[in-house]
Amino acid sequence: MKMIKIFSFLLLPVLFFACQKIDTSAPTDGRKKILSTIAQIGDLVADIGGDRIDSQVLVRGELNPHVYELVKGDDEKIQRADLIFYNGLGLEHGASVSSMLTNHPHSFAIGDSIQQRHPNRILWKGPVADPHIWMDVSLWKESVDPIAEQLSLIDPEGKEYYAARATQLKAKMDEADQEIKIILQSIPPQKRFLVTSHDAFHYFTRSYLAEEGEENWQQRFAAPEGLAPDGQLNPLDLQKIIDHLHRHRIETLFPESNVSRDSIRKIAAAGKQKGLEVRICKEALYGDSMRGAYLDAMKHNAKTIAESLGAP
């Protein structure tokens, strides 16, 4: 009896650590684990992958993808991922995230893929590529087939399934793209000017606010902060925006959901001091972040802008 007690005592730690190992091992249901860095990618991946994948998003909510760094719990998502989709074009430049993407054996840059196939559709600010390609639905649609192809590589049995769902998604995106154009083109051309918190809306402006064939379409959009918002607004930036408002008789400023409104408030206050009638839209636009489905977020932007700029 004494030997049994001693054996049981010695066995307890073994059983404890064995149980601990089982508890921390993620259960598998056969679905491929797919991680997307941003929600705009994750929404498309989930739509194409359906019930054959377990889709997760790394940068959630109102967090800034430009400077996001890995936090507790991210390591497990990364280690479990059979495949990681990221935007590329310099969007995810946080040191820990960039290292993770470089070292993971199966990661795919959607923006870089689109740039290789359609280099003329990528916008640049000096030597830096504008990564906000999801702001043009027709351009973002170019990511659908590569996503389906990458999923098929790790899950060959699902190839036809992914291809069929990709076809359906592209049709929905075509429909949404046309709907957004109709909404925004209903705004009188002389009022079709957009000022937001940061430089996330160049693709959006080129596709939806500019006149067909317009050479100087860039003048229809301005923002006080650069491609990666940092909340800093110097006097020169402020004066440029004030001049832009005055030149084009712009009366409405649009905040973004995940960017501080400090810069927008400073612009509105400075504009009023110079006699400009400037107001801040109550509804925020979705730029780097979104709530709900991607296409719904894009339609929200279109409807908010149209209602604020005087569409009939």
Positive or negative, the CA dihedral 68, 298, 255, 202 is positive
Condensed to tens digits (0 to 9), the pLDDT of residues 196-219 reads: 988 899 999 999 999 999 999 999
Condensed to tens digits (0 to 9), the pLDDT of residues 94-119 reads: 999 999 998 899 999 999 999 999 99
Strand partners, 123: none
* The predicted structure's pLDDT at residue 260: 86
Instruction: Flag whether pLDDT at 229 surpasses 70.
Output: no
Rg of the chain over all Cα atoms, to the nearest angstrom: 24
Amino acid at 168: Q
Strand partners, 222: 195
Model confidence at 157, pLDDT cuts 50, 70, 90, reads very high
User: Which of 199-203, 229-233, 237-241, 255-259 shows the lowest per-residue confidence on average (mean pLDDT)?
Assistant: 229-233
> In this predicted model, which residue has the larger pLDDT, 194 or 238?
194
* The predicted structure's pLDDT at residue 257: 92
Please report, in angstroms and rounded to a whole number, the separation of the first and last CA atoms in the chain: 90
* The predicted structure's pLDDT at residue 184: 97
Percent share of the chain, pLDDT over 90: 76
In 3D, which of 122, 155, 125, 121 has the Cα closest to residue 33? 155
Q: Which residues of 9-45 are buried (b: 16+ CB within 10 A; e: fewer)?
A: eeeeeeeeeeeeeeeeeeeeeebbbbbbbbbbbbbbb
pTM of the model: 0.88
- 294-308 vs 159-185: helix axis angle to the nearest 10? 0
Instruction: Flag whether pLDDT at 173 surpasses 50.
Output: yes
Q: How far apart are CA 230 and CA 301, in angstroms?
A: 22
* The predicted structure's pLDDT at residue 230: 61
> In this predicted model, which residue has the larger pLDDT, 225 or 287?
287
Condensed to tens digits (0 to 9), the pLDDT of residues 247-261 reads: 999 999 999 998 888
* The predicted structure's pLDDT at residue 167: 98
**Summary mean pLDDT of the chain:** 89
Mean pLDDT, to the nearest integer, of 134-149?
98
Domains and CATH numbers, the chain: 32-173 (3.40.50.1980), 175-308 (3.40.50.1980)
Instruction: Flag whether pLDDT at 23 surpasses 50.
Output: no
In 3D, which of 295, 39, 305, 297 has the Cα closest to residue 175? 295
